[in-house]
């Protein structure tokens, strides 16, 4: 019996009791029906209190008109009669502690193995189409440590949302228009021509490398620059931009981060078939909503109507579009492409974007509570990391991958909430000890595979399964952890918090190592293979499956050997 099945049964029992009290259903009384969300169960901190605990009696006692302990006792008597429940006891002011029988709990191992990769996946977000934008670094240089955190976190959020049934599109917004791109172009052109760098040039050897590559790609550049500097600048900037963007994409793929869409800011400025750019069209659409006004020759959007701290300028008096104009047009593009919720994962210096993006959603007629989510990530530093030899003033993703590897980076960066500042120890990330949680979890998986190999050599297979034999206290703990996994995934998806997966995996790995130290899958001393050994092999394989499933949600590999 899973925690969800137990919660469902408690909800039905409670609904029956409410009806018997002469109050009819909750709906008849003007409230909602009793659902499994109202009767959710939790693992007791003290295992002597049973496998699962519920506080439903205390939540509903007033509505039923009964004493909490008395209501708890009535619920306990009925849940104890359910197949798979060994006993139910009332504790404290009205807690119900429930213990499953060994066979019922043990069935979890078979369910996990039979469902395989699907175990833990659910349908709580089925029907939701979500656009998730993250990283979105300017294509003017290599990705750095900050981008690395947003990449790991964003991709893991996407994976848990998909595991809950959502249709998710990972999107990278390419800031390829405006002053930063022009500065980038001037920097590369000077490097390509062997000129002194402009005063505001981007620093770093990577600019010199790009300059050399652009010169190789455009051998006619010096002559063209002498005749038409602007044309040479355009060509050099475009060539360098394409090379830098390709490098960014390559770095992300090697980091096991995949984007479905790379959306160019340029397209928001370009005229479409009707001669109007998406930015110009956005002005018209927001004007129709009644949120646009003109003042001092500029076009404004009345974003204060939606909680922003000030109204925002869309077009300045000189006719130049602001960054806000591009943000608005981009949001409307997501809306037009059929996305319900639009999630933005932004860096620590983007707190001001919360109000403006929320205001755009409101001005566009969206529900600001449901249709837009802005997650602000905090800064991260890594002790021992060296500044990039190419960029000079940053810690580059490519250097981090070479030093630490993708798995360690992905795991550690997804292990903490987005709003937690991070200070990581590079040597700990590289260590192969129990102080390194990613090693502990991966080692647990490798150990399950070693058990499989040794079991096969000893003639132990899964030809028999008797869950009633799984009675050791470490087996009870391990089965309980396996039962929790679907709820952990659902919670991580609902809250957009993949760190819950990592912390769960660490607890599961610890429970597995304790079980491994106490329970044998392979007979000792030439003893005969029994059904207990075969059944324990099912449990071993179930643990390996859940670890693989969980690590996959974090974009981390599950090695066969370590």
Q: Are residues 455 and 534 in the same domain?
A: yes
pLDDT digits (tens, 9 = 90+) for 189-212: 999 999 999 999 998 899 999 999
Whole-number pLDDT of residue 488: 95
Decide if 163 is inside a domain. no
What confidence tens digit (pLDDT) does each residue in 145-180 have?
999 999 999 999 999 999 999 999 999 999 999 999
Indicate if 348 and 439 belong to the same structural domain. Answer: no
Among candidates 38, 42, 51, 41, which has minimal Cα distance to 12?
Answer: 38
CATH number, residue 504: 1.10.730.10
> Looking at the structure, do residues 545 and 526 belong to the same domain, yes or no?
yes
The reply to whether 66 falls in a domain is yes
| Strand duo 52-54 + 95-100: pairing | antiparallel
Q: Which of 547, 195, 146, 153 is nearest to 379 (CA)?
A: 146
User: In which domain, by residue range, is 526 found?
Assistant: 433-553
- Of 397, 393, 419, 394, the residue nearest 406 (C-alpha): 397
Q: pLDDT tens digits, residue range 83-113? A: 889 899 999 999 999 988 878 889 999 999 9
Please indicate, yes or no, if residue 137 is contained in any of the structural domains.
no
Within a domain: residue 222? yes
CATH number of residue 303's parent domain: 3.40.50.620
pLDDT digits (tens, 9 = 90+) for 348-361: 888 888 999 999 99
3-state DSSP assignment of residue 410 = helix
Confidence (pLDDT) at 389 = 66
> For the chain, how many structural domains are there in total?
4
Instruction: Tell whether 236 and 345 lie within a shared domain.
Output: no
Same domain, 301 and 198: no
My answer on whether 341 and 275 are in the same domain is yes
**Euclidean distance between CA atoms 47 and 485, whole angstroms:** 18
Say yes or no: 282 and 372 in one domain.
yes
Please give the average per-residue pLDDT across 27-37, as a whole number: 61
191 with 237, same domain: the answer is yes
Q: Among 220, 254, 288, which residue terminates a domain?
A: 254
Residue 561 maps to a domain: no
The DSSP bridge partners found for residue 313 are 300
Q: Are 438 and 499 within 8 A, CB to CB? A: no
Last residue in a domain, options 254, 287, 321: 254
Does residue 173 lie in a domain region?
no
Q: What is the CATH number of the domain that holds 91?
A: 3.30.1360.70
How far is residue 493's CA from residue 501's CA, in Å, rounded to a whole number? 10
| Percentage of the residues of the chain whose pLDDT score is greater than 90 | 79
Cα separation of the two ends of the chain: 34
In a domain, 160, yes or no: no
- CA–CA separation, 79 vs 7, rounded Å? 10
- Alpha carbon 270 to its chain centroid, in Å, reads 33
Give the residue from 66, 100, 134 where a domain finishes.
100
**Domain check: are 186 and 89 in the same one?**
no
Angle at 341 between CA 339 and CA 347, to 5 degrees: 115
Domain shared by 449 and 523, yes or no: yes
Q: Distance between CA atoms of 108 and 437, rounded to whole angstroms? A: 25
In this structure, the answer to whether residues 209 and 312 fall within a common structural domain is no
């Amino acid at each position: 019996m899973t925690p969800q099945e137990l919660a469902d049964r408690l909800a039905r029992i409670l609904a029956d009791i409410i009806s018997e009290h002469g109050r009819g259903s909750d709906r008849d009384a003007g409230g909602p029906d009793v659902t499994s969300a109202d009767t959710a169960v939790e693992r007791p901190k003290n295992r002597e209190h049973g496998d699962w605990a519920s506080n439903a009696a205390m939540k509903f006692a007033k509505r039923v008109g009964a004493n909490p302990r008395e209501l708890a006792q009535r619920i306990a008597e009925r849940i104890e009669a359910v197949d798979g429940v060994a006993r139910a006891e009332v504790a404290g002011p009205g807690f119900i502690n429930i213990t499953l029988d060994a066979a019922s709990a043990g069935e979890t191992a078979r369910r996990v193995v039979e469902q395989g990769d699907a175990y833990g996946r659910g349908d709580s977000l089925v029907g939701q189409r979500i656009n998730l934008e993250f990283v979105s670094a300017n294509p003017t240089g290599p990705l750095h440590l900050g981008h690395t955190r947003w990449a790991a976190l964003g991709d893991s959020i996407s994976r848990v949302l998909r595991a809950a049934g959502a249709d998710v599109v990972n999107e990278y917004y390419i800031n390829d228009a405006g002053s930063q791109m022009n500065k980038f172009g001037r920097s590369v052109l000077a490097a390509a021509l062997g000129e002194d760098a402009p005063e505001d040039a981007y620093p770093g050897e990577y600019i010199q490398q790009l300059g050399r590559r652009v010169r190789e790609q455009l051998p006619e550049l010096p002559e063209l620059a002498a005749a038409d500097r602007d044309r040479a600048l355009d060509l050099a900037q475009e060539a360098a931009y394409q090379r830098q963007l390709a490098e960014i994409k390559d770095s992300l793929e090697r980091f096991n981060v995949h984007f479905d869409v790379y959306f160019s800011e340029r397209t928001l400025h370009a005229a479409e078939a009707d001669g109007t750019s998406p930015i110009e069209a956005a002005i018209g659409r927001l004007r129709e909503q009644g949120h646009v006004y003109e003042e001092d020759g500029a076009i404004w959007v009345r974003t204060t109507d939606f909680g922003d701290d000030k109204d925002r300028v869309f077009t300045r008096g000189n006719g130049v579009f602001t960054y806000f104009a591009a943000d608005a047009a981009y949001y409307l593009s997501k809306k037009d492409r059929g996305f319900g919720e639009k999630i933005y994962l932004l860096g620590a210096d983007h707190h001001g974007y919360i109000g403006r993006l929320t205001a755009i959603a409101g001005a566009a007629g969206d529900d600001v509570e449901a249709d837009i989510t802005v997650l602000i990530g905090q800064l991260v530093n890594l002790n021992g990391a060296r500044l990039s030899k190419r960029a000079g003033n940053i810690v580059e993703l490519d250097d981090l991958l070479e030093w630490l590897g993708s798995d360690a980076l992905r795991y550690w960066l997804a292990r903490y909430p987005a709003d937690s500042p991070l200070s990581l120890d590079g040597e700990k990330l590289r260590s192969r000890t129990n102080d390194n949680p990613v090693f502990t979890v991966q080692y647990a998986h490798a150990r399950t595979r070693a058990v499989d190999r040794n079991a096969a050599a000893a003639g132990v297979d899964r030809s028999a399964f008797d869950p009633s034999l799984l009675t050791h206290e470490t087996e009870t703990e391990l089965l309980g952890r396996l039962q929790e996994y679907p709820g952990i995934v659902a919670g991580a998806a609902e809250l957009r918090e993949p760190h819950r997966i990592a912390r769960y995996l660490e607890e599961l790995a610890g429970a597995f190592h304790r079980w491994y130290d106490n329970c044998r899958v392979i007979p000792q001393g030439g003893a005969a293979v029994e059904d207990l050994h075969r059944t324990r092999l099912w449990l071993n394989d179930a643990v390996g499956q859940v670890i693989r499933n969980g690590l996959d949600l974090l974009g981390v590999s599950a090695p066969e050997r370590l």
